[in-house]
Amino acid sequence: MLDVADDPLRDGLMPVHRKAETQPSRLSSPASRQDILRAMESLGHYLLRERIALPGVGAVEAFEGQDVRTGIDVLAFRPISEPLPALSMPHILPWIDQEGEAWIAEIPVGAVRTAWLAERIDLDRLAQWCKQLATVLHWAQEQNIPVGYVIPELVWARGSRVWLGGVGVSNPGHVRDFPGLLNTIKVLAGEAYPALPWREALEDYVVGHIDYSALVQQLEVGSEPLASKPSPPNPQTAPNPPRVDALEAHSARAGAEGTEDAVQDETTASSLEASDKSPAKAAAAPGAERQAHSKSLNVEVNQPTSPPATSTPPRRIRIEERLEPPFEVLEPPLPSRRAVALWIWLIPLVLLLAGLGWWVRSRTPSSTPVTVYPVEFRLQPPGPGASLIILEAPEGSQMPLNIEVAQLPGRVDFDRPGIYRIRVRVQGRVPVESLIEVPNPGGVTISLR
């Protein structure tokens, strides 16, 4: 069996945890190894390490385990008497084997449980995960496939991608666990869940008020458009109140006072005449009152006028200056026709030479050396050679994939820095897949077991 003992790698979230059998320091004594192996349950060539608690009272149990042949992590569900389904979906853990009444699914290399990342996920990545899980439920609903359990312990993540385990496993309580999707997002978001811009859309989708396309649109937009509200009036643009000139205000006050005095005098006179004269003469009092009122409005206010200011004509000052400078002016000589002709021929010649130099430079290959990132691979103990195959490379890399690129031990040159997924194969042994980070100054040691 092969074991690649290099540094833990990261894929967007956290380091890939090494397996217990690749860390002998944790199992220092044979007794401790025997105790751990005795505590694990064997299922064919799979070791079931940890039981995952499923909600409800169903009889199905879930276990996280490992394939003892390849070291790949697996997820097992039992007991299930139905045959293993053939499902093809990007964001589900694929079923790879059936041992008796147990279904076995493969966990991608480097993926971790999302339950370990609760309350430590940024909102953009959480929206991507929610969209992928909702896509799985929508696809399962269209294909009439049961999805009995959606819990953080069954969702595995690596970078911006998630995989849901147990698609196809039924639950007596429901066919598809839409409430489990909502509870999973609540657990992963933690205290930030009430502030999610697409929280209401997710809750409406779970209860069936909106469809899948509307939820995806809200997840992509990130927030619902705000309704336009009338803006408050701008005090600068509000109409100004009419301005009253001081002279007009003074005239109005004087006219009002004169009107009140005239009306009062006329009323007194009318009352005295009414006691001596007939009612017919007293009836003319309102006409006199109106006449006095109209006369009192013609009030003229004589404001003292200032005498017109006498403007004095501007004083003219004459300054006499000499039109010619006191020194001799030297004029540059006029260019000759020969110099003009020389410049006319020189400029096109310079442009022609510049274009010729640029063309020659573009034709010659660039001498810039290509940057390579060497990684030294070693075998411990020295033995038969091994072959190296690259399965995944970072973006922009030109390294060939799925073919043998080098023989180990020795140095392998990589063209791009980043994380590579490799497979090391030795004649007569089971191949091992691993992740390495480039550049890696310390190199990679391959231990043969």
DSSP 330-352: PPPPPPPHHHHHHHHHHHHHHHH
> Cα angle vertex 30, ends 29, 32, to 5°?
70
Task: Return d(Cα 47, Cα 66) in angstroms, integer.
Answer: 5
Q: Quote the CA–CA distance of 55 and 370 in Å, as a whole number.
A: 56
Joined tokens for residue 370: 């290509």
pLDDT tens by residue, 116-131: 998 888 889 999 999 9
Q: Do you find a cis peptide bond into 24, omega within 30 degrees of 0? A: no
How many angstroms separate the CA atoms of 370 and 365, rounded?
A: 13
Instruction: Decide whether 10-106 matches 373-448 in CATH topology.
Output: no
Inform me whether the pLDDT recorded for 136 exceeds 90: yes
Is the Cβ–Cβ distance between 282 and 274 less than 8 Å? yes
The yes-or-no verdict on residue 326 having pLDDT over 70 is: yes
SS3 11: coil
For the chain, the structural domain boundaries read: 10-106, 112-221, 373-448
- CATH number attached to the domain at 373-448: 2.60.40
Q: Are 174 and 148 in contact (CB under 8 A)?
A: yes
Q: How far is CA 250 from the centre of its chain?
A: 68
pLDDT (tens digit, 9 = 90+) per residue, 98-122? 988 899 999 999 999 999 998 888 8
- Residues counted in the chain: 449
Residue 356 has pLDDT above 80, yes or no: yes
- What is the torsional sign of CA 37, 38, 41, 42? positive
- Residues 6 or more apart whose CB falls under 8 angstroms from that of 155 comprise 113, 114, 115, 129, 133, 162, 163, 164, 165, 184
H helix or E strand, kind and range, residue 142: helix 123-143
Q: Which two tokens stand for residue 423?
A: 């497979």
Q: How many angstroms separate the CA atoms of 206 and 263, rounded?
A: 83
* CATH T-level assignment (fold) for domain 10-106: Phosphorylase Kinase; domain 1 (3.30.200)
pLDDT at residue 431 is higher than 50: yes
pLDDT digit string, tens, across residues 11-23? 443 333 333 333 3
Beta carbons of 176 and 138 less than 8 angstroms apart: no
- pTM comes to 0.44
Q: What is the pLDDT of residues 402-424, one digit of tens each?
A: 888 898 888 899 998 999 998 88
pLDDT-based confidence at residue 75 (cuts at 50, 70, 90): very high
Spatial separation of the C-alpha atoms in residues 117 and 73, rounded to whole Å: 19
Q: Which of 202, 71, 91, 65 is nearest to 157 (CA)?
A: 91
